[in-house]
Amino acid sequence: MDVRIAVLASGTGSNLQALLDDPHVGPSIVLVVSNRPKALALDRARAAGVKAVPLDPAHYESREAHDRALRAVLEEEGVELILNAGYMRILTPVVVGAFEGRWLNVHPSLLPAFPGAHPVRDALEWGAKVTGVTVHFVDEEVDHGPIVVQECVAVLPGDDEASLHSRIQEVEHRVYPRAARLLAEGRLKVEGRRVHVLGEEDRP
């Protein structure tokens, strides 16, 4: 696929790894950025020969200043599409506006249930019987943009946060690369809050 993709990640980067390992998406990933300079995700990028850039918010005077720097890094690399993979930072219009419609996030719940930083814990504490995975477009609100794909994961009686999150991540690792491929192939059409996946017959 002739497209330049950046991945933003804050943590261990297992979703990043699933994207790097995908034969369609992986070769198009040209940049990984993390707000945590020691994130394992940056090591995974380096191991894959992908440019890894730490952007520590502590070095910037405001959220907007950080996001201007992020936007500059993305533009310098000629990035066309962005994939958040466990990126635990709220973004401002400074950067979101520049890439709207070209930016996905993966979230470990069935949005709009359980947005925010602790969706797996929140689902357990709420007593939900079913939770899951959402891949959605990024817009200027947190965990809010149009939904590309969702898949359910059952909450089992003996689950704790770790066991449930581990089953959710298995699903993430399968569905996120597929959704990313659809975006990269130009097959996602957004109409209001609805996302249509264009089939072969609809493709331009």
Residues that bind ligand GRF (CB under 6 A): 9, 11-15, 85-86, 106-108, 169, 172
Number of other CB atoms surrounding residue 61 within 10 Å: 7
Which residue is listed with tokens 């070095």? 59
Q: How far is the CB of 191 from ligand GRF (least distance, A)?
A: 25
Rounded to 5 degrees, what angle do the CA atoms 41, 68, 148 make? 55
Q: How far is the CB of 82 from ligand GRF (least distance, A)?
A: 15
Number of other CB atoms surrounding residue 56 within 10 Å: 12
Identity of the residue, 74 or 106, whose beta carbon is nearer to ligand GRF in the bound complex: 106
N-to-C CA span, the chain = 16
Question: 107, 136, 165, 173: which one is catalytic?
Answer: 107
Identity of the residue, 99 or 114, whose beta carbon is nearer to ligand GRF in the bound complex: 114
Rounded Cα gap, residues 120 and 132, in angstroms: 9
Write the CA distances from 3 to 26, 60, 84, 97, 181, integer angstroms: 11, 30, 16, 20, 10
Identity of the residue, 85 or 188, whose beta carbon is nearer to ligand GRF in the bound complex: 85
The SS3 of residue 121 is helix
- Nearest one of 190, 201, 108 to 148, comparing CA atoms: 190
For the question of residue 107 being annotated catalytic, the response is yes
Residue nearest to ligand GRF (CB): 86
Q: How far is the CB of 77 from ligand GRF (least distance, A)?
A: 21
Identity of the residue, 28 or 134, whose beta carbon is nearer to ligand GRF in the bound complex: 134
Q: How far is the CB of 134 from ligand GRF (least distance, A)?
A: 9
Catalytic residue list: 107
